[in-house]
């Protein structure tokens, strides 16, 4: 798929994978709409994207409150007239055991990671169908392929994304609607810093595993290639991605290894 001239809306665009993908897509002379919680940081990303050749608008928003999504969508459509590619990248992680995590944390993680992209998709889908099709790119996780210590709500939200977006593509494939599921392992971003602990407080540190992950820039190049090729799923990371194949072909071994993962 040719990306030049396409309008692409990226959530979680103020840092990490979203920011790195914005720069790669800017080089393709796209029209970018960037959403994140930090307006000042979005402004910096916007300036860099424009310098790389993209038209770029920013729409700050916090997806823990889904009630404002209809208004946000109208603003997004007003930026360039349509959205060709919706990149649901915003997300929040977790660092707490099931029995110790307050329910409000489970609910917030599901709101940000699952219900927000679902709501955006349901509202945007009619516009894409009217324009002849479109692509939904969604950041999941290897935790969306198997359970993982201290990630119960996070893993649940990522499993749910697989079910929703695979179903979406099955239903609307003949209408030129495509789904690209981005499945990262360890990428060196600040996701662990902002992860929620059992009482809802921020984890506040970069985990060792996260620190040793691949760079967001390397991840972005692989993701953009997958979008261009309309690949249904792309695995992004290092040797930890072997766990996905263990789950598929050696599930008992996967369960054993998952129990032995050192919590961070």
Q: Is 162 a catalytic residue?
A: no
Q: Six-digit token pair at 93?
A: 């992680």
Determine which one of 23, 61, 154, 162 is catalytic. Answer: 154
Q: What is the pLDDT of residue 87?
A: 98
- CA-CA-CA-CA dihedral for 109, 208, 202, 14, to nearest 10: -70
Q: What letter does residue 262 receive in the DSSP assignment?
A: P
Task: Indicate if the alpha-carbon torsion angle 7, 134, 60, 213 is positive or negative.
Answer: negative
The answer to whether 162 and 144 have CB atoms below 8 angstroms apart is yes
| One pLDDT digit (tens) per residue for the chain, 264 residues | 999 999 999 999 999 999 999 999 999 999 999 999 999 999 999 999 999 999 999 999 999 999 999 999 999 999 999 999 999 999 999 999 999 999 999 999 999 999 999 999 999 999 999 999 999 999 999 999 999 899 999 999 999 999 999 999 999 999 999 999 999 999 999 999 999 999 999 999 988 888 899 999 999 999 999 999 999 999 999 999 999 999 999 999 999 999 888 766
**Alpha-carbon distances, residue 201 vs 101, 193, 211, 217 (angstroms):** 11, 11, 21, 29
Q: Would you call 174 exposed, middle or buried from its count of C-beta atoms within 10 A (0-12, 13-18, 19+)?
A: exposed
| Whole-angstrom distance, CA of residue 50 vs CA of residue 32 | 9
């Amino acid at each position: 798929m040719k990306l030049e001239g396409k309008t692409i809306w990226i959530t979680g665009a103020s840092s990490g994978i979203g920011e790195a993908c914005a720069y790669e897509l800017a080089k393709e002379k796209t029209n970018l709409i960037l959403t994140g919680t930090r307006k000042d940081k979005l402004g910096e990303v916007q300036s860099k994207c424009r310098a790389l050749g993209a038209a770029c608008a920013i729409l700050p928003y916090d997806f823990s409150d889904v009630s404002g999504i209809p208004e946000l969508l109208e603003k997004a459509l007003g930026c360039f007239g349509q959205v060709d590619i919706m990149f649901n990248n915003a997300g929040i992680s977790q660092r707490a055991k099931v029995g110790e995590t307050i329910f409000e944390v489970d609910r917030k993680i599901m709101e940000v990671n699952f219900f927000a992209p679902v709501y955006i998709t349901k509202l945007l889908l009619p516009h894409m169908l009217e324009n002849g099709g479109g692509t939904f790119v969604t950041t999941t996780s290897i935790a969306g392929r198997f359970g993982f210590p201290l990630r119960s709500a996070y893993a649940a939200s990522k499993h749910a994304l697989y079910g929703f977006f695979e179903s979406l593509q099955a239903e609307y494939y003949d209408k030129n609607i495509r789904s690209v599921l981005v499945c990262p392992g360890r990428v060196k971003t600040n996701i662990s810093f902002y992860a929620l602990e059992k009482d809802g407080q921020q984890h506040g540190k970069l985990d060792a595993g996260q620190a040793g992950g691949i760079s967001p820039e390397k991840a972005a190049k692989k993701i953009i290639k997958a979008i261009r090729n309309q690949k249904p799923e792309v695995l992004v990371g290092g040797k930890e991605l072997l766990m996905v194949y263990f789950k598929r072909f050696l599930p008992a071994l996967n369960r054993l290894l998952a129990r032995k993962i050192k919590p961070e």
